Structure 1
């Protein structure tokens, strides 16, 4: 559940986080670099750009880059119709140029070669990265500079490093990071790329063997998969790279001698299958450990790799290692969070005549263990308690508060045979005085079987989304009665109770707001979407109903966890005490 008080919007927070990521990425670029948004305004700049332009960063950020910087050879403003960078910017494509000028803060002109390319800022917005390099020392206005012949090559190298840093650090998914890395390297540097990763169990997995064919990237899956262990003393190039020892050049002849390990056998197979004649093999090494090895191969591309190429490839591999290391740490943290949450959530009771299923999906961010929870348990009088709730926050405090509320509720419900409203009133008072829970929503219900065999639900709702009742014929109804204020407000007012009969074969759905809330859409739209899909799935077995509902209804832009509790009554009623076994889902 969202915090009740927030001073900035989700878009603002996302933009701020993205700008922080952008700034960190630009600082790793040795040339001048800045990023412009979809309007052409500078949103981030590195220290080298500020130095070259003789302008403090704060005088650059927020300004229109074209109007501020672009000049012709006489120092006059560059018309947008003649500006090749502006044209590439509007087309959203990569472009480069040499022999152009930027205006410096001291009135002089800076001769530049530049590259502009689309940039993933991580904020979901269109952006472009500009990397520029001083062709010679700054000239006075009006004096045309003489270009350095190899400056453009340097700009291309720096632009590749910048793209690698920014694109890889903007994802925390390992597979996506590898996909982006491959797309950056082939066919720009090679026509083959091979990525071997060391798993957390110290096993080697050939994660990618990709070939550039015309305009497509073709994955050779038959060459991917598990690899033999890394030999401790082997002098062969891949073995050394996987131990983090050194970068090496290799060719088919490297592996023609009798193999010293299983990895050498696989490498010979790789060279024979791909036709690679020249390869550069470098470690993928983070600050903590060796994560794998990167191999670039040339079969059709002219020219062999030389030792002069290794520093650039090593630099690219180091940047890839940072992204992969971050992704692994994220996955570990997420696994810990999910494990903790799953241990906090209860097992459902077996109630004769009823089917019951619960689902919990964590928030998409690793550290966001949520405050969403559900519970179901049987009381001494034969009633079954159903409850679902959401403690404010998305952190460990929210999870701990959730456990406190759930355990207190269990104690009150077991000890006091009162209507739901009275139990929740006592819980609300206790939360205020003996816990640190700020606020929470909750629905608390008692389910009983009447003498005629029908099931009846009595409940009270403390600010929670209303339950949805679906008949076996697909008729839906939100149970909006019994609604009161959420817990933790300090307000002491009587809470209402409500009662409803559950028809034979009907499905009752309790859920948290992460299932229906989506940025940019109203709550009513989310409730309508849930109602529509629940009706369409009413004929499904309960497990299929629940899983399909989550897939169809949970918003793609959801940044909240989701708890869901579904219950289905028997299709045919029997006298009390003679309920049939629940159907298999």
Structure 2
């Protein structure tokens, strides 16, 4: 808070609000302020009220200032104590800001507040935060009551209201002091003399009974020497009747212990008025150790008592509770509000020790904070609950005093705490709902999703729980149970808050479903499709609907007190069940708990339904895609392996394809392609383009470039309106190349990522890689049928590995594709160096290149050219070629 907004509080009783500089109004205000300041340095009540303000607001310092042409501090504690009676320039004071604004001024961070940051108390570090309220009387704002700390702090409306409440007695005390000035110098000098000589002495001889008083003491009691009897009975006769027993007890105790005598009592003067007297004394021992005399002094404390009485009236009028503890933890004062709040324990706690009267405070937050405040000398603020008979929550502020005691201000906040607790629980439930929703949508695996649910709900909503799937459930199952209803159930998640009991829950889930009776709560939930609550004695009631055996025994060992079974509803179906249990000592399920569980169950049911739909769509898409991809041939000494990995999205059936076949003359053709798009239209177009390409290649026997040129022309003629990338490659050998152990690879590229070749390594060296980039690739298919199609040739030694792939293997968001191809080259070289067979090679390429969920289809064709001067390796499997086609890739014309 940096101050009241415009239109906030105005100073009480000040016409027109804050004073205006100059003019008759300002002159009158100045005269009034000087008049008050002239008496202010001797107003002890201002110190007491400043101390009270600091205690109640929990600050280190407070002061009462009168502001005229200068500032005069007339009362203060803490950092302000040294300034009492001191005048300082008004323009250097924060209180002048309060006087000028004529309303409360709250500063939370003084070094950064433009109103006060340049004032000396702030720049010197004395004031870091400040709260001041104006002192107004006679139609003028004449000063301020303020509290401050060296560091920053916030102020709320309660703080401002409390300080304004204290401003009233402060102003009254200042005006009373000003009136005394009017009695003149003679009255003042007389009063000072009385104050200076205001102590009387007494000597009580316990052996003779004689009580001797000096003249000052006789004057205090309003007696003459010839009218004072000189006995203890005469002294007691002058006391107020209500004080006699207490004073007698104090004297008796001092005499018995030969110790100190201390008392404050009222004296009834001869005219009937009452004077407060404070007495201190000492019982002196004789030769035998028993007390023989009591010596002491007494003085007038009426003025002090009047101030305390005025302070007490302020405290009594406060709507908040206040009590004072002495250094022995005894109640010395309790205001009316505190007596009301504490009436469940004692109507008048004064004189009792807090630990005896309120035993529940022992070892509690109350004792911890109270003792810490006294030991450290620092105020404390905390909230705590006191059990019955009070049974309430309290906000407590406690301040240590200089005598080792403690001042305590507190208010009951039971209702506020209950509202806060409700909000906290509501926020926790909202947070749990959000957390569960995120967990359920984070995976498309239904069992994994609901399996997470158990650990998230325990112990927030229960001590243990079980999550069950209902396989193949539909509306008919919800309406009535069939004979095999138990077979539809599978417990897929469970958890217990106690780690030592989790094995029991796991075993319970393994045996409970076959043991469920038709009258079980699970069956009832399936039939009703609504939550079923077991409010109490859950162990007994659950056991009754389990057939005798291990499941019933485990249920009773787990001993739940309450339980609820909630259906996980999907789209017009019960997709699962959530059973959550609470043990003894924990309250039963509230309507709010059931509402939260119902919401959670609804989200879990939808997650299960979505997972089911996803699986169905994915299986359909993948099945359709795979139906268009055929098994590769296996020519002699050539091993071909293929892979197709669909995208993670269920419906992302796409246009990626691979192909491998043998042309009639014996050449092995390898194809990798990708129709633009990721939908069923792309998949259909892929099927058309793939069919065209393999048909043209087989029937014409032409090389890769001619095949691509014919496919481009056929797409235009057949009005296949799509575009596609593709690489067509053919493995060829002449008889001479067979003898030399090499194979030619001829290829043409229509806008597709380049194939990668891993060459066999020389002994002791790492395999080398070759990217078949050539001078570049030609246009995609489906753009310009007249485009030129280039063809390239590379001679490969036997033992080489060739990899054709679709772009999903190497493309990454925010990365150029060349970087992915470079990374792939390194991976395939490592795998060949590790000696992996071709099938394992393909699997590991997918694992290393795409470790996370895929957002695109991936197709692979890998070929390994085994040496022809030795048998075909077993890892390559048997030779598989179409009837009438040569088993090796040699061609008559090369």
Say if 2:519 and 2:545, in contact at 8 Å, map to a contact too: no
Q: Which residue in 2 is equivalent to 1:187? A: 459
Deviation at 1:415, TM superposition (A): 1.7
| Alpha-carbon distance between aligned partners in 1 of 2:662 and 2:800, rounded to the nearest angstrom | 20
Q: Which residue in 1 is equivalent to 2:744? A: 456
| Alpha-carbon distance between aligned partners in 2 of 1:449 and 1:239, rounded to the nearest angstrom | 72
Over 3 Å counting, the alpha-carbon distance change for 1:552 and 1:243 in structure 2 is: farther
Q: Which residue in 2 is equivalent to 1:512? A: 806
Say if 1:355 and 1:568, in contact at 8 Å, map to a contact too: yes
Deviation at 1:503, TM superposition (A): 1.4
Over 3 Å counting, the alpha-carbon distance change for 1:223 and 1:490 in structure 2 is: farther
Say if 1:191 and 1:301, in contact at 8 Å, map to a contact too: no
Q: Which residue in 2 is equivalent to 1:36? A: none
Deviates more, 1:222-231 or 1:558-567: 222-231
Deviation at 1:161, TM superposition (A): 3.8
Deviation at 1:521, TM superposition (A): 2.2
Tell me, yes or no, if structure 1 residue 528 matches structure 2 residue 816: no
| Alpha-carbon distance between aligned partners in 2 of 1:443 and 1:501, rounded to the nearest angstrom | 18
Q: Which residue in 1 is equivalent to 2:49? A: none
Over 3 Å counting, the alpha-carbon distance change for 1:354 and 1:275 in structure 2 is: farther
| Alpha-carbon distance between aligned partners in 2 of 1:266 and 1:408, rounded to the nearest angstrom | 65
Say if 1:284 and 1:320, in contact at 8 Å, map to a contact too: yes
Deviation at 1:525, TM superposition (A): 1.9
| Alpha-carbon distance between aligned partners in 2 of 1:477 and 1:548, rounded to the nearest angstrom | 19
Counterpart among 525, 547, 552 of residue 848 in structure 2: 552
Tell me, yes or no, if structure 1 residue 411 matches structure 2 residue 695: yes
Q: Which residue in 2 is equivalent to 1:48? A: none
**Helix, strand or coil at the partner of 1:283:** strand
Tell me, yes or no, if structure 1 residue 277 matches structure 2 residue 561: yes
**Helix, strand or coil at the partner of 2:581:** strand
Say if 1:205 and 1:227, in contact at 8 Å, map to a contact too: no
Deviation at 1:268, TM superposition (A): 2.6
Deviation at 1:475, TM superposition (A): 1.3
Counterpart among 694, 705, 708 of residue 421 in structure 1: 705
Q: Which residue in 2 is equivalent to 1:465? A: 753
| Alpha-carbon distance between aligned partners in 2 of 1:487 and 1:375, rounded to the nearest angstrom | 17
Say if 2:508 and 2:551, in contact at 8 Å, map to a contact too: no
Deviation at 1:308, TM superposition (A): 6.8
The structure whose residues are more often helix, as a share, is 2
Deviation at 1:440, TM superposition (A): 0.7
Over 3 Å counting, the alpha-carbon distance change for 1:370 and 1:258 in structure 2 is: closer
Tell me, yes or no, if structure 1 residue 493 matches structure 2 residue 784: no
| Alpha-carbon distance between aligned partners in 1 of 2:592 and 2:727, rounded to the nearest angstrom | 67
| Alpha-carbon distance between aligned partners in 2 of 1:253 and 1:431, rounded to the nearest angstrom | 75
Tell me, yes or no, if structure 1 residue 255 matches structure 2 residue 542: yes
Deviation at 1:487, TM superposition (A): 1.1
Deviates more, 1:512-521 or 1:279-288: 279-288
Q: Which residue in 2 is equivalent to 1:581? A: 872
| Alpha-carbon distance between aligned partners in 1 of 2:675 and 2:554, rounded to the nearest angstrom | 54
Q: Which residue in 2 is equivalent to 1:14? A: none
Counterpart among 453, 466, 470 of residue 198 in structure 1: 470
Q: Which residue in 2 is equivalent to 1:387? A: 671
| Alpha-carbon distance between aligned partners in 2 of 1:465 and 1:404, rounded to the nearest angstrom | 21
Report how many aligned residue pairs link the two structures: 437
| Alpha-carbon distance between aligned partners in 2 of 1:344 and 1:304, rounded to the nearest angstrom | 59
| Alpha-carbon distance between aligned partners in 1 of 2:509 and 2:814, rounded to the nearest angstrom | 42
Deviation at 1:552, TM superposition (A): 0.4
Q: Which residue in 2 is equivalent to 1:483? A: 777
Instruction: Show the 5 A alignment for 1:356-375.
Output: 356-375=640-659
Deviation at 1:219, TM superposition (A): 11
Q: Which residue in 2 is equivalent to 1:566? A: 862
Per-residue displacement from partner, 1:178-232 (whole Å, max 9, x unpaired)?
2553344122111212101012386211101112348x9999655555874697x
Per-residue displacement from partner, 1:330-382 (whole Å, max 9, x unpaired)?
11111111111111111111212111110000011000001000011111111
**Helix, strand or coil at the partner of 2:875:** coil
| Alpha-carbon distance between aligned partners in 1 of 2:591 and 2:427, rounded to the nearest angstrom | 20
Tell me, yes or no, if structure 1 residue 178 matches structure 2 residue 450: yes
Say if 2:532 and 2:566, in contact at 8 Å, map to a contact too: yes
Counterpart among 603, 611, 623 of residue 327 in structure 1: 611
| Alpha-carbon distance between aligned partners in 2 of 1:244 and 1:506, rounded to the nearest angstrom | 66
Say if 2:515 and 2:551, in contact at 8 Å, map to a contact too: no
Q: Which residue in 1 is equivalent to 2:331? A: none
Larger Rg: 2
| Alpha-carbon distance between aligned partners in 2 of 1:279 and 1:379, rounded to the nearest angstrom | 71
Say if 2:644 and 2:857, in contact at 8 Å, map to a contact too: yes
| Alpha-carbon distance between aligned partners in 1 of 2:693 and 2:602, rounded to the nearest angstrom | 52
Over 3 Å counting, the alpha-carbon distance change for 1:357 and 1:244 in structure 2 is: farther
Q: Which residue in 1 is equivalent to 2:637? A: 353
Deviation at 1:255, TM superposition (A): 3.4
Deviation at 1:271, TM superposition (A): 2.1
Per-residue displacement from partner, 1:368-415 (whole Å, max 9, x unpaired)?
001000011111111111101000001111111111011001111122
**Helix, strand or coil at the partner of 1:459:** strand
Over 3 Å counting, the alpha-carbon distance change for 1:551 and 1:225 in structure 2 is: farther
Counterpart among 159, 168, 171 of residue 440 in structure 2: 168
| Alpha-carbon distance between aligned partners in 2 of 1:400 and 1:220, rounded to the nearest angstrom | 51
Say if 1:210 and 1:218, in contact at 8 Å, map to a contact too: no
| Alpha-carbon distance between aligned partners in 2 of 1:442 and 1:208, rounded to the nearest angstrom | 47
Gaps of 5+ in 2: 1-103, 110-155, 158-414, 474-486, 762-766, 877-894
Q: Which residue in 2 is equivalent to 1:82? A: none
| Alpha-carbon distance between aligned partners in 2 of 1:219 and 1:498, rounded to the nearest angstrom | 69
**Helix, strand or coil at the partner of 1:322:** helix
| Alpha-carbon distance between aligned partners in 1 of 2:700 and 2:811, rounded to the nearest angstrom | 35
Deviation at 1:523, TM superposition (A): 1.5
Per-residue displacement from partner, 1:67-100 (whole Å, max 9, x unpaired)?
xxxxxxx9x9x99xxxxxxxxxxxxxxxxxxx99
Gaps of 5+ in 1: 1-73, 80-98, 101-145
Over 3 Å counting, the alpha-carbon distance change for 1:563 and 1:225 in structure 2 is: farther
Instruction: Show the 5 A alignment for 1:202-281.
Output: 203-213=488-498, 221-224=506-509, 228=513, 234-250=518-534, 251-257=538-544, 259=546, 268=552, 270-272=554-556, 274-281=558-565
Over 3 Å counting, the alpha-carbon distance change for 1:310 and 1:555 in structure 2 is: closer
| Alpha-carbon distance between aligned partners in 2 of 1:450 and 1:516, rounded to the nearest angstrom | 35
TM-score (norm 2): 0.45
Query: For the aligned residues, what is the CA RMSD?
Result: 3.3
Over 3 Å counting, the alpha-carbon distance change for 1:210 and 1:273 in structure 2 is: farther
Comparing both chains, which one has the higher relative contact order based on Cα–Cα distances under 8 Å and sequence gaps of 6 or more? 1
